[in-house]
């Protein structure tokens, strides 16, 4: 609790993608920043996304031209600053005779999408005939199929790493990052956000700091954070639930990502090649429950399976084919009526002057546009602080892993421990920062070994996660640092080995190690779908 009693220009509540992006931008512009997150980084909405960095093609239907343009512009920025994390993905939209969106409408949408992404490096769209489509994607059901549109967007395989690298960049620029630090009270002094009281969820120690500005970037917990500040604040968040299922390869599985209109309700869903598996989602249902207890319902799972089996008739997917499922709450603006899909994904930066000058809340937003949201937020904070801040430079400053990729790849190969797929795995997770994992393995011979028979995972990664990446639990290490928790088996074969390495680094006794393993297995089990 080294920050206790200190003063900061800005306290950021929440370490999802928006809070991480704001912290990075603010710290790079010279502000003193503390980030307080009640759990681990990226443990809420940001990890439960469809993992796409995209322009939001369907937002064109709702006239959100500005949002689509912003998203496409930010897609280009993210590919520039995080080339190891954000990669192009080709997406196919099958067109059916009975669909609400016919060939003409889809073609017009594709043309508009290309025009709005003027200057992009990705190829333009193309329209496919029925015969060509079935030749390239023979698993698609041919009934009433007219053809398809095909275009490029981008994918972030591991959104967790994107959040982490923003926080690492913020920390390098002087920010303090405190995970497992729940904000218990925000006290207002002289009509300004002033004292933030928080408690460490691991040590149970409480502390406080003062801040000239508090940015509430708690996602679906925004209203809860406001509740510890003042009573009777109007509701800001009207979250909707989005669920996804993860399956392995199936008969007729596509080579491209498929973006298709659901027969049941007309909602677009994705079937996406991801992490050697297939990610299928999402749903969009109003949700008023506890965001921390959210799970994919059996009704949502059956809906996603049914639609996938309709589009790919040979798939025959059932519940027992699902490796795991996850769900999250989109922190959208509160609306008490109207369809969920029509709620704008554009962000809102609300200054609570009526509560206290310098208290802000972030409402809505998209994974794709987090960087521009952060830029707008820090610009507003600068005005409140009456500071002439330097220009934002997050659009062209690489994230920590975004440079030195070739050097790191060469070092990994020279280590002569990993297979070719293992080398590429580490580059896709750590980027240029993989050199740090290599150096750790070289300094400590016991860490210079593979944890798996396929030579994909280095023992040094466990210690690197703890020393360099702020991991505090086994769940942090497995699911949000090494990323093996998102493999088909959820990395279960490695749990004991990871726990042994972590216990030595943390100085855990036998009881603490057993408790950490039990917590990890409970979390993994919570993502499984009962048959």
Continuous H helices in 354-507: 370-385, 405-415, 420-430, 434-443, 460-468, 474-480, 495-506
Instruction: Name the region of 105 (left: φ>0; alpha: ψ -120 to 50; beta: rest).
Output: alpha
Angle at 87 between CA 86 and CA 92, to 5 degrees: 125
Residue-level pLDDT at 344: 65
Backbone angles phi, psi at 475, to 5 degrees: -60, -45
CB 222 within 8 A of CB 229: no
**pLDDT score recorded for residue 234:** 86
List 285's β-bridge partners, or say none: 241
Is residue 493 within 8 Å of 452, Cβ to Cβ? yes
Q: Has residue 404 got a pLDDT over 70?
A: yes
For 474-489, write each residue's pLDDT tens digit. Answer: 999 999 999 999 999 9
pLDDT grade for 59, boundaries at 50, 70 and 90: confident
- Residue 103: what pLDDT? 81
Helix axes 495-506, 460-468, angle to 10 degrees: 50
Coil/strand/helix, residue 148: strand
The string of pLDDT tens digits covering residues 428-469 is 999 999 999 999 999 999 999 999 999 999 999 999 999 999
Q: What pLDDT is stored for residue 343 in this prediction?
A: 65
CA dist., res. 443 & res. 436, Å (int): 11
29-38, 334-343, 411-420, 495-504: range with lowest mean pLDDT: 334-343
- Of the candidate ranges 13-22, 51-60, 377-386, 440-449, the one whose mean pLDDT is the lowest: 51-60
Cβ neighbors of 471 (< 8 A, separation 6 or more) are 40, 465, 477, 480, 481
Average of pLDDT values for 185-203? 88
- Tens digit of each residue's pLDDT (9 = 90 or more) over 102-160: 788 888 888 988 999 877 778 899 999 999 999 999 999 999 999 999 999 999 999 99
- Residue 139 CA to chain centroid, in angstroms? 30
Q: How far is CA 388 from CA 21, 30, 150, 377, in A?
A: 20, 11, 46, 14
With a cut of 60, say whether residue 416 has pLDDT above it. Answer: yes
260, containing H or E segment? strand 257-261
List the chain domain ranges.
7-45+160-235+344-385, 83-154+239-330, 405-526
In angstroms, the first-to-last Cα distance of the chain is 45
> Which residue in 3, 22, 8, 6 sits closest to 385, CA to CA?
8
DSSP per-residue string spanning 510-522: HHHHHHHHHHHHH
pLDDT band at 190 (very low <50, low <70, confident <90, very high): confident
User: Model confidence over 221-265: pLDDT tens digits?
Assistant: 999 999 998 887 889 998 899 999 999 999 999 999 999 989 888
**3 state SS of 58:** helix
pLDDT-derived band at 267, boundaries 50, 70, 90: confident
What dihedral do alpha carbons 517, 520, 523, 524 form, nearest 10°?
Answer: -100
1 band by pLDDT with thresholds 50, 70 and 90: low
The confidence score (pLDDT) of residue 194 equals: 85
pLDDT tens readout for residues 311-349:
999 999 999 999 999 999 999 888 776 565 556 667 899
Cβ–Cβ under 8 Å, residues 282 and 269: yes
Name the more confident of 191 and 330.
330
- Better-predicted residue by pLDDT, 341 or 187: 187
pLDDT the model gives residue 2: 72
Closest CA to 302 of 353, 251, 340, 264: 264
CA 461-464-470 angle, 5° bins: 125
Give 240's strand partners: 286, 330
What SS3 state is found at 149?
strand
Inter-residue contact 416 to 410 (CB < 8 Å)? no
* Average pLDDT, integer, range 264-286: 93
Residues above pLDDT 90, as percent of the chain = 80
- For the domain made up of 405-526, give the CATH fold: Helicase, Ruva Protein; domain 3 (1.10.8)
CA distance 473 to 516: 7
Size of the chain, expressed as the number of residues it contains: 531
Q: Which of 97, 529, 18 is nearest to 317 (CA)?
A: 529
% of the chain exceeding 70 in pLDDT: 98
Answer yes or no: are the C-beta atoms of 296 and 280 closer than 8 Å. Answer: no
Measured CA to CA, the distance from residue 520 to residue 507 in angstroms comes to: 18
Distance CA 160, CA 17 (A): 9
Superfamily name and number for 7-45+160-235+344-385 = FAD/NAD(P)-binding domain (3.50.50.60)
Query: What is the rounded CA–CA span in Å between residue 278 and residue 271?
Result: 7
pLDDT band at residue 424 under the 50/70/90 scheme: very high
Torsion of CA 375, 345, 239, 266, to 10 degrees: -160
Topology classification of domain 83-154+239-330: D-Amino Acid Oxidase; Chain A, domain 2 (3.30.9)
pLDDT tens for 354-382 read 888 899 999 998 999 999 999 999 999 99
Predicted confidence band at 5 (pLDDT cuts at 50, 70, 90)? confident
Query: Where does the pLDDT of residue 403 fall: very low under 50, low under 70, confident under 90, or very high at 90 and above?
Result: very high
Classified as helix, coil or strand, 437 is: helix
């Amino acid at each position: 609790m080294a920050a206790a009693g200190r003063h900061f220009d800005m306290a950021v509540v929440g370490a999802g993608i928006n809070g991480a992006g704001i912290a990075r931008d603010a710290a790079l512009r010279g502000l003193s920043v503390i980030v307080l997150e009640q759990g681990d980084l990226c443990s809420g909405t940001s990890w439960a996304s469809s993992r796409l960095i995209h322009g939001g093609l369907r937002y064109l239907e709702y006239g959100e031209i500005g949002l689509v343009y912003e998203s496409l512009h930010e897609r280009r920025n993210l590919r520039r600053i995080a080339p190891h994390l954000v990669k192009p993905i080709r997406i196919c939209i099958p067109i059916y005779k009975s669909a609400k969106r016919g060939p003409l409408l889809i073609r017009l949408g594709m043309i508009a999408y290309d025009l709005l992404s003027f200057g992009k490096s990705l190829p333009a769209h193309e329209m496919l005939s029925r015969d060509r489509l079935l030749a390239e994607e023979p698993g698609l059901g041919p009934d009433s199929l007219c053809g398809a549109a095909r275009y490029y967007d981008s994918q972030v395989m591991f959104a967790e790493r994107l959040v982490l690298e923003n926080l690492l960049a913020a920390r390098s620029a002087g920010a303090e990052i405190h995970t497992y630090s729940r904000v218990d009270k925000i006290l207002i002094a002289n009509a300004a956000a002033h004292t933030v009281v928080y408690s460490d969820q691991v040590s149970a120690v409480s502390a406080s700091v003062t801040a000239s500005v508090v940015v509430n970037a708690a996602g679906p917990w925004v209203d809860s954070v406001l509740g510890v500040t003042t009573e009777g604040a109007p509701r800001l968040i009207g979250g909707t639930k989005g669920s996804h299922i993860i399956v392995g390869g199936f008969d007729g599985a596509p080579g491209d990502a498929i973006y298709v209109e659901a027969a049941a309700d007309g909602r677009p869903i994705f079937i996406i090649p991801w992490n050697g598996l297939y990610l299928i989602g999402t749903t969009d249902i109003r949700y008023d429950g506890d965001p921390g207890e959210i799970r994919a319902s059996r009704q949502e799972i059956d809906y996603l399976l049914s639609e996938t089996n309709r589009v790919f008739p040979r798939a025959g997917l059932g519940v027992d084919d699902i490796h795991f499922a996850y769900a999250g709450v989109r922190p959208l603006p509160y609306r008490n009526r109207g369809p969920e899909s029509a709620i704008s994904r554009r962000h809102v930066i609300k200054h609570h002057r009526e509560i206290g000058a310098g208290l802000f809340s972030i409402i809505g937003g998209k994974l794709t546009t987090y960087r521009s949201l952060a830029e707008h937020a820090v610009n507003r904070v600068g005005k409140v602080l009456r500071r002439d801040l330097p220009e934002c430079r997050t659009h062209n400053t690489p994230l920590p892993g975004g440079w030195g990729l070739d050097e790191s790849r060469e070092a990994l190969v020279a280590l002569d421990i990993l297979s070719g797929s293992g080398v590429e795995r580490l580059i896709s997770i750590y980027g240029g920062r993989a050199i740090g994992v290599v150096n750790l393995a070289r300094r400590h011979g016991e860490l210079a070994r593979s944890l798996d028979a396929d030579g994909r995972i280095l023992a040094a990664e466990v210690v690197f996660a703890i020393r360099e990446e702020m991991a505090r639990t086994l769940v942090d290490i497995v699911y949000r640092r090494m990323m093996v928790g998102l493999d088909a088996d959820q990395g279960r074969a490695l749990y004991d080995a990871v726990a042994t390495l972590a216990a030595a680094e943390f100085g855990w006794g036998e009881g603490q190690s057993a408790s950490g393993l039990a917590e990890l297995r409970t979390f993994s089990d919570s993502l499984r779908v009962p048959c």
